[in-house]
Amino acid sequence: MPSLPLPLLLLLLWGVGSHGFPATSSGAQEQDTELVQNYLRKYYHLRTGTNRSGRQRSSSLVTEKLKQMQAFFGLKVTGKVDADTLTLMRQPRCGVPDVAPYALGERTLRWEHTHLTYRLENYTPDLPRADVDSAIDRAFQLWSNASALTFTRVFEGQADIMISFVRGDHNDNNPFGGPGNIIAHAFPPGGGIGGDVHFDEDKRWTKDFRSEYFNLYHVAAHEVGHSLGLMHDGDIESLMFSSYNYYGDNLLTQRDIDAIQALYGPSKNPIQPRERQVPQACESKLTFDAITEIRGELYFFKNRFFLRTRPFYKTGELGAITDFWVPLSRGVDAAYEVASRDEVFFFKGKASGVWGQGYPKDIYHSLGFPHTVKSIDAAVHEEETGKTYFFVASKYWRYDENTRSMDTGFPKEIAHGFPGIGKKVDAVFQERGFFYFFRGKRQYKFDPHTKRILTILNINSWFNCRNK
Ligand SMILES: *[C@@H]1O[C@H](CO)[C@@H](O)[C@H](O)[C@H]1NC(C)=O
Ligand SMILES: *[C@@H]1O[C@H](CO)[C@@H](O)[C@H](O)[C@H]1NC(C)=O
Ligand SMILES: [Zn+2]
Ligand SMILES: [Zn+2]
């Protein structure tokens, strides 16, 4: 037994304090303890001794490794197993450690030549072969576009980078399918197994976005990064972040480009990173497409994603829209909840739909908008009056949810009904009787009774951001 007996480690973890640790059954606690121990051993080289005098030292080692992990991911560094730490540890991730082995120190491995070969040894049955080829080829193109590297695909013999779909124990001392949630791994540059990429065939692979599936192009691009000598990056924005996040096809950030160019020099044909598709709760350039409360939680929609939080608790959580409503895979323009009927309405272009109720209707028949309206910028429901406000460019409409008809006398100018808000609204929601309007990087807290702006808030104010 190379590890501490479970109850002891459990004690140690509880002993070092578990403030904020969610209430769980003791079965779940044991699983968590095992998860923490395995995670730190695998990705942070935690070595737990078994002898008596070593026990004390092990407890502080666990704390130390926890701190290292929390610092790496930009979590609050507590050295304790808190909810954020556990959430992160449970995410599907790459099997490559987050810290370099001691033997390697600060040294990075790199290929001595910039023209490399790769070979795809087999295919996954999850996708047509052409889609697998395309995902792998694009993953290499991504890195050759950003650096002086060039790649040639070969179909026989030994290539620098051998790629395969394997399962379980596949004879490289890094079995898939064990505890944890590893989707793939790759080896740093070198001969033999060096540079090789293994995908877990027991995972489900896709070419686009589906929950419970992994996007092959995205995972391949990340793993090839390791094949070329890159380590994990604790910045969630980076392609080299160790947990799986689907971003859309726009993968490289400036950090990734800098990292690959530091090893191999710039591309002759430099590429610029484009704006990232995934919203980050604390980024300064954040804007939203739509915001609504749904059953007591706030959903902030951006592109194909949402950030979910509980008002006044500020625990942000990233999710993909298709996780809960497939017709919204292209994003949302506006959304609102009628809590009294437990209904949530979504809008995209001229389509409108109720969450969970099949496919969309159009805004002309269902709500009575004129055909001049092509899309809705924002919408908010006022529980008190049963009215819903729709914002379209500089105007707004008012809809009566009780009679299910548009009120007469609309549209009106936003400047008239909501003075100070400006000529266009990105998103709006209602919370405890106040309207919160979002426009660009600004947020306005508005009192609909007095028609006055109460405060101008930071756009991130609903999330727990450290560097306000
Ligand atoms: C027990 O563990 C301690 C601390 O890791 C170590 O210094 C010591 O040599 C170990 N003793 C034995 C008998 O292995
Ligand atoms: C690489 O660059 C070419 C030419 O600019 C472009 O067509 C291609 O889409 C790029 N590939 C990737 C994966 O970004
Ligand atoms: Zn990785
Ligand atoms: Zn392997």
Tens of pLDDT, residue by residue over 427-439, are 999 998 999 999 9
- CA nearest neighbour of 81 among 3, 7, 4, 17: 17
CA distance 273 to 259: 13
Decide: 190 in ligand 1 pocket, CB within 6 A.
no
- Residue 23 predicted with pLDDT over 60: no
Residue 335 assigned ligand-binding role: yes
- Residue 379 predicted with pLDDT over 90: yes
Are residues 299 and 281 in contact, defined by beta-carbon separation less than 8 angstroms?
no
- CA nearest neighbour of 97 among 169, 197, 186: 186
pLDDT at 386: 95
Pocket residue to mutate for ligand 2, from 145, 247, 256, most atoms within 8 A of Cβ: 145
Question: Annotated active-site positions, please?
Answer: 223
Take residue 243 and report the two structure tokens written for it: 């947990």
Residue 198 assigned ligand-binding role: yes
Of 22-31, 66-75, 329-338, the range with the lowest mean pLDDT is: 22-31
Q: Mean pLDDT across the stretch 25-33?
A: 71
- Residue 92 predicted with pLDDT over 90: no
| pLDDT: which is higher, 76 or 172 | 172
Q: Mean pLDDT across the stretch 63-85?
A: 88
- CA nearest neighbour of 370 among 410, 415, 326: 410
Of 40-44, 74-78, 209-213, the range with the lowest mean pLDDT is: 209-213
Residue 224: pLDDT band (50, 70, 90) is very high
pLDDT at 361: 83
Closest atom of ligand 2 to 145 CA is 1
- Residue 158 predicted with pLDDT over 50: yes
pLDDT at 440: 86
CA distances for 145 relative to 138, 241, 269, 354, 460, angstroms: 10, 20, 7, 43, 34
- Residue 14 predicted with pLDDT over 90: no
Decide: 52 in ligand 1 pocket, CB within 6 A.
no
Decide: 136 in ligand 2 pocket, CB within 6 A.
no
Residue 133 assigned ligand-binding role: no
Instruction: Check: pTM over 0.85? Answer yes or no.
Output: no
pLDDT at 279: 80
- Residue 50 predicted with pLDDT over 70: no
Please, what is the average pLDDT of the chain?
Answer: 84
Nearest-CA residue for atom 8 of ligand 1: 54
Take residue 238 and report the two structure tokens written for it: 């980076």
